[in-house]
Structure 1
Amino acid sequence: MAKQFDRIEDAHRRFIEAQHLFFVGTAAPEGRVNVSPKGTDSLRVLGPNRIAWLNLTGSGNETAGHLLQTPRMTLLWCSFEKRPLILRAYGTARAVHRDAADWDELSALFPGGPEKRQVYDMHVEMMQTSCGYAVPFMDFAGPRDTLEKWAEDKGEDGIRAYWRDRNQSTLDGAPTEIVARNLHPE
């Protein structure tokens, strides 16, 4: 039932663009595997083998730390509606921080404010579809605005303090470069 493709086909792009949720999986050579749900308007298909997605400030920063050790990444989308389907993108990625030459270009692809933490630029090596027959039906009730309001309340300085306090290392203690690459001395 599974089929592999060496690129993002038009049908894949349409499916991706119709989803409200995707999952990101990364792992360092040792330690914990991380799988994170992602929502909001935070992903763009940039070409047949390229996806960019915006990472918003959160309680952890596992993806950034994992990619510094090994650049592997998997993205996954599930259909919760009429047609059952699971779509995965396998590839390698890099974290684009505020000090990168292409931060302004990639960051501008997405709405948002101070909660923008990194953009991940993924080279897709393989797409895979599978049945999704066991994925339940679910209705989309709407996006949450909790993170946006939290970030507005904290402001830029509060977000920077949060990064310093909560986002500098992974659960396994690996660095994420959030401070070195995003917070410049004033």
Structure 2
Amino acid sequence: MGNYVITQLPNYPITQLLSIMFCSFTEKPLILRLYGHGRAVNRRDAEWDEYAPLFPESVGNRNIILMDVESVQTSCGFAAPFYEYAGERPLLTEWAKNRGADGLAKYWAEKNQVSIDGLPTRLLTD
């Protein structure tokens, strides 16, 4: 989830709806969807220190999305294709490490202050 999602959550306080879909691409077909309300925790928020240790450390981490799951749905997944996972791409991690904390802050200031529809991301300021 990127900057777009974090800008939508506070701007639509009545809904703040999220859905997450998990899909099995191996032998047993299945789709699992989680539905609920969410909110973003920015690295400048007090709650960051509570949740950040639950994830792998990365200098490029910007936000954590918290979701209160309110309903769960499964479906057959019969139309889901087979897919073989080949691994994570190292490009983003390498790019962030090469920039360092100061370089990332500069990049975020230049490129990540508003979403594609002009809403503030709160990455560096409220």
Same fold (TM over 0.5): yes
Q: Percent identity, aligned pairs only?
A: 43
CA distance in 2, matches of 1:153, 1:174: 28
Structure 1 ranges of 4+ moved more than 3 A = none
CA distance in 2, matches of 1:61, 1:162: 14
Q: Which residue of 1 aligns with 2:77?
A: 132
CA distance in 2, matches of 1:137, 1:165: 40
Find 1:146's aligned residue among 87, 91, 106: 91
Deviations 1:61-118 (A, max 9, x none): 1011111112111111111101111111111111101222220120111112211100
Residues 74 and 88 in structure 1, CA contact (< 8 A), matched pair in contact too: yes
CA distance in 2, matches of 1:175, 1:148: 25
CA distance in 1, matches of 2:10, 2:112: 14
Deviations 1:127-153 (A, max 9, x none): 110111111001111111111101001
How large is the RMSD of aligned CA atoms in angstroms?
1.3
CA distance in 2, matches of 1:162, 1:86: 37
Q: How does 1:33-182 map to 2 (within 5 A)?
A: 61-70=3-12, 71-180=16-125
CA distance in 1, matches of 2:45, 2:118: 24
Unaligned runs of 5+ in 2: none
Residues 67 and 94 in structure 1, CA contact (< 8 A), matched pair in contact too: yes
CA distance in 2, matches of 1:164, 1:104: 23
CA distance in 2, matches of 1:156, 1:177: 17
Counting matched residue pairs gives: 123
Q: Which residue of 2 aligns with 1:56?
A: none
TM-score by length of 1: 0.63
The offset of 1:165, in angstroms, is 1.3
